[in-house]
Amino acid sequence: MQYIQNFSAVHWAMLVGGVLILIGGMLVLWNKRRGVPRAADRNNGEASGQRRPLLSGVGESTRLVIGVAALIGGYHLAIWAFPPDVNPVQVPRHLWWGLFGGLVLVILGSLWIDRIEASRGKGST
């Protein structure tokens, strides 16, 4: 615990930011289960007094991808605030760009597939 006393402002920002991103990812995943069904979402569930889920404009698979990506990114951001020997389960810090670039590509790919599915669904009806 000696390393916490030597934390700089950057370390605290990484730790707090990572924890907030982790909480955001958990909320996205938790809210997905508690939200209104997709059919009611299309019919504007707010009109009937139902609560709309977080990220209601995207499909369930994309919400799952965003939530898991936030968990992975938040975990690594928080763990990088500590010395490397504290937790060996982490992407090396010098490869941060690969981790976050990969997470962004996965999210963008999922959004792209949602858009393709939505355009095919509208064209067939």
Domain ranges of the chain: 2-124
Answer for the pair 53, 34: CB distance below 8 angstroms, yes or no. yes
pTM (two decimals): 0.76
Average pLDDT over residues 94-111: 95
Residue 74 reports pLDDT greater than 80: yes
Distance between CA 30 and CA 45 in Å, rounded?
18
CA distances from 67 to 9, 31, 59, 73, 84 (A): 27, 10, 12, 10, 25
pLDDT at site 125: 46
Taking the mean position of all CA atoms in its chain, how far away is CA 98? Answer: 17
CA distances from 105 to 33, 98, 99 (A): 25, 10, 10
Distance between CA 40 and CA 27 in Å, rounded?
21
Average pLDDT over residues 13-20: 95
What pLDDT digit, counting tens, does each position of 27-61 carry?
A: 998 875 555 455 544 555 455 555 555 566 788 88
User: 123 Cβ partners below 8 Å, 6+ apart?
Assistant: none
85 confidence band (pLDDT: 50, 70, 90)? confident
